[in-house]
Amino acid sequence: MEIDEDNSPSTSAAEPSVSVSDGETTVPAANNTPIQPVQPTVPPFVPPAVVPPIAPIPAIPPHPIVNPLAPLPVRLPVLKPPVPQNGGVKTSDSDSDHEDAGRATTGEYEISEESRLVRERQEKAMQELLMKRRAAALAVPTNDMAVRTRLRRLGEPITLFGEREMERRDRLRMILAKLDSEGQLEKLMKAHEEEEAAVSAKVEDIEEDIEYPFYTEGPKELLDARIDIAKYSVVKAAARVQRAQRKRDDPDEDMDAEIDWALKQAGNLVLDCSEIGDDRPLSGCSFSRDGKLLATCSLSGVAKLWSMPKVSKVSALKGHTERATDVTFSPVHDHLATASADRTAKLWNTDGSLLKTFEGHLDRLARIAFHPSGKYFGTTSFDKTWRLWDIESGMELLLQEGHSRSVYGIAFHQDGSLAASCGLDALARVWDLRTGRSILALEGHVKPVLGVNFSPNGYHLATGGEDNTCRIWDLRKKKSLYIIPAHSNLISQVKFEPQEGYYLVTASYDMTAKVWSGKDFKPVKSLPGHEAKVTASDISEGIINSGSTMTVC
């Protein structure tokens, strides 16, 4: 049976219909006359059941009713987790991670340019921190020459423009830390050690037959001076110890009352007079042993003598070609000595006549001090040495090295057995004049030490420097006993009261001089009045004089 494709069951009623019955086909007439249909044998068409709506829904455009289909699986939308601001990536709990079969993993999220820069900065900061920690753990030489040598061996410039010693040392530390992080430091240092061993072996072979003494031989005059100083110091030390024992054992001696009386006298000090010493700043001052004369020196190179207490000019000592740096009276004779930047020291009489000139230093002189015996005096210089001179012969007895930088201050123990020096290396040293040995190195100041002085009690030493502090050292314990935060600027000089050491005077660039108790080192009196830096001070039988930078008004 063939059925025309154009005659489907869904054809509308206006179109002619075709009926089939037992293999016969009935076609309607062409004039559309209705024909009585034959009784069909096909079962009647049953319309599909319509499911009534459960809830009212909005009007929907009419559409043909179809048979209900099985519900399709609904796939939820895949949401990418937000990227945190700090560059981190968070994991997602969505099923899409499993369905994508590892298409997007935790470390493969795209990171914004800003987050990437933040992460790079963090990594760089962490690397710098680790580098600094590694550098801090490395041992670096403190000697500047050793630092330069190490830099040269590493192939680095030994110095940069405007680079200071500490900056050069820090640069070497960072270079070593960088090599250590790259694993090259041990190999490089091993190669340098082998090279040094080879060089030292060659030097030892060359110098194998040469024997050097462990000391430097001095002249016979130095030996005689050491013997003389030893004899003098034994007598003075015995007298000092006996006097201390007598004061301790004598029931009539009241040490506390005596100290309190001396401090009270110092606390009552007032400004007695003021005098213009020179048209250039004053650099030093000193009282004579009887207190009747005062000597001053200035940057003009002229030293002047003044009568006390009227402070009238007596004479002018002219002879230096450069500025005078210090002046001091002899403790035994009516002589005084001056030091100058012309690398010489001169011995004068009180009438203004020149007695001797002492030459030998290679750079300008700083301070000068007489030995208690009056036979010798010491000078310090910027050539990193201090020297001991014989006054009678004018001969240089001792050239003493030991400071790594310029030597500035010098003082002698009242017994005559010891000398103390201080310098720009922030170090003070105590020397035994009888043997020539350095018996103490006093470390504590963080800046150059400019003043040093022994106490008459025999076991205290005072130092003052550019760190604005005055330190009291106990020679018996070999350590710092007390630190006085004395001034707001550098301390130019320190002096103990010369009789018993009951008080201490400090001079400073803060335009003041101050008096401190020698017992507990508490402040006793502040002496203002100067209008510029106070460069020197001296004490004579309860009278305190201070020299300052002054100009003619």
Please report, for the chain, the start and end positions of each structural domain, with discontinuous segments joined by +.
131-192, 220-552
How far is 356 from 337, CA to CA, in rounded Å? Answer: 9
Sign of the dihedral defined by the CA atoms of residues 405, 399, 339, 451, in that order: positive
pLDDT in single tens digits along all 553 residues of the chain: 444 444 444 434 444 444 444 444 444 444 444 555 555 555 555 555 555 555 555 555 555 555 555 555 555 555 555 555 444 444 444 444 444 444 444 445 677 888 888 888 888 888 777 777 766 667 777 888 888 888 888 888 888 888 888 888 888 888 887 777 777 766 666 666 766 676 666 555 544 554 545 567 788 999 999 999 999 999 999 999 999 898 888 888 888 888 899 899 888 888 888 888 999 999 999 999 888 999 999 999 999 999 988 889 999 999 999 999 999 999 998 899 999 999 999 999 998 899 999 999 999 999 999 999 999 999 999 999 999 999 999 999 999 998 999 999 999 999 999 999 999 999 999 999 999 899 999 999 999 999 999 999 999 999 999 999 999 999 999 999 999 999 999 999 999 999 889 999 999 999 999 999 998 999 999 999 899 999 999 998 645 555 543 332 3
Cβ-contact 272, 537 below 8 angstroms: no
Q: Which residue has the tokens 């800046």?
A: 447
Q: Select from 2.130.10.10, 3.30.420.40, 2.60.120.1440, 1.10.1740.10 the CATH code of 220-552.
A: 2.130.10.10
Cβ-contact 411, 369 below 8 angstroms: yes
Nearest alpha-carbon partner for 537 in 445, 432, 409: 409
Sign of the dihedral defined by the CA atoms of residues 11, 15, 21, 25, in that order: negative
Give the pLDDT confidence score for residue 91 in this predicted structure. 45
Sign of the dihedral defined by the CA atoms of residues 143, 149, 151, 153, in that order: negative
Distance, C-alpha 215 to centroid of its chain: 37
Distance, C-alpha 319 to centroid of its chain: 43
Long-range contacts of 309-312 (CB under 8 A, 24+ apart): 309/272, 309/273, 311/273, 311/275
* Residue type present at position 224: D
Within 13 Å and on the Cβ side, how many CA atoms surround 313? 12
Give the pLDDT confidence score for residue 41 in this predicted structure. 53
Q: How many C-beta atoms surround the C-beta of residue 462 within 10 A?
A: 29
Cβ-contact 501, 240 below 8 angstroms: no
Residue 148 CB contacts under 8 Å (≥ 6 apart), including other chains: 158, 159, 168
Nearest alpha-carbon partner for 330 in 294, 373, 361: 373
Give the pLDDT confidence score for residue 178 in this predicted structure. 79
Q: Tokens at residue 111, please?
A: 């990171």
Query: Residue 525: beta bridge partners?
Result: 515
